[in-house]
Chains A and B, each alone.
Chain A
Amino acid sequence: DGGITQSPKYLFRKEGQNVTLSCEQNLNHDAMYWYRQDPGQGLRLIYYSQIVNDFQKGDIAEGYSVSREKKESFPLTVTSAQKNPTAFYLCASSITGVGANVLTFGAGSRLTVL
């Protein structure tokens, strides 16, 4: 079955360390997204990419970086510059054009900074 795989499911990090969250999709979707979920705050867009080798900042991109070298993969790096990195991170994908506003999400990665 097609879907989105995020790994790891749980991750612990010491302050000052960078960590990379993996996101792989086999839906043949062109567009991919990273969201951050905090209790009581809904979903906030970090970065998105509509095509390979191109990506744009979302609403809360500071302290994060991404790459899109392959259509199937969109890894997110949480850098030491991110002031409050403990959160639940969700990767999503969609088609482009008509229907682009319907997202398919992965199961998420929970990052805890110790």
Chain B
Amino acid sequence: GDSVVQTEGQVLPSEGDSLIVNCSYETTQYPSLFWYVQYPGEGPQLHLKAMKANDKGRNKGFEAMYRKETTSFHLEKDSVQESDSAVYFCALSGSSGSARQLTFGSGTQLTVLP
């Protein structure tokens, strides 16, 4: 079956640091890839997405490149802010495009230190 691996459970950069949150996936399909963000006390919300290989998702200074050759979708930002603190989930959706086929990673808690 499909799987999504986020290697870091928690990251603690200081404000202004650069950020990479790793996401690797396994699937036999041609997936769409997503990052969802969950702020404290709220449900997750779509942060950015990429529908096919070599697409780049962008939102609020964050970027993620859909790399088929390395089966990765790492989340990056040049300079993080305290307001970026949240839990970030990587997810993939199978070829059918159905949410039933959404597979989520275990999440990465980002805490930006002042």
> Using a CB–CB distance below 8 Å, which chain A residues touch chain B?
4, 6, 31, 33, 40-45, 48, 56, 58, 90, 92, 94, 97-108
Contacts and interface: CB of A to CB of B under 8 A. Distances in A.
B16 interface: no
Contact of A101 (B45, B89, B97, B105): B97
A101 B102 contact: yes
Contact of B99 (A40, A41, A90, A103): A103
Given A40-B106, A40-B107, A101 B44 contact: no
B46 interface: yes
B104 A43 contact: yes
A44 B100 CA distance: 11
Interface of B: 4, 9, 32, 34, 36, 41-46, 49, 89, 93, 97-102, 104-107
A9 to B, nearest CB: 9
Contact of A102 (B41, B46, B101): B46
Contacts, number: 62
A103 B102 contact: yes
A43 B98 contact: no
A42 to B, nearest CB: 4
Nearest to A108: B43
A33 B99 CA distance: 9
Contacts of B89: 42-43
Contacts of B98: 100-101
Contacts of B107: 40, 42
B97 A107 contact: no
9 contacts: A33-B99, A45-B100, A101-B34, A101-B93, A101-B102, A102-B46, A103-B102, A105-B43, A106-B43
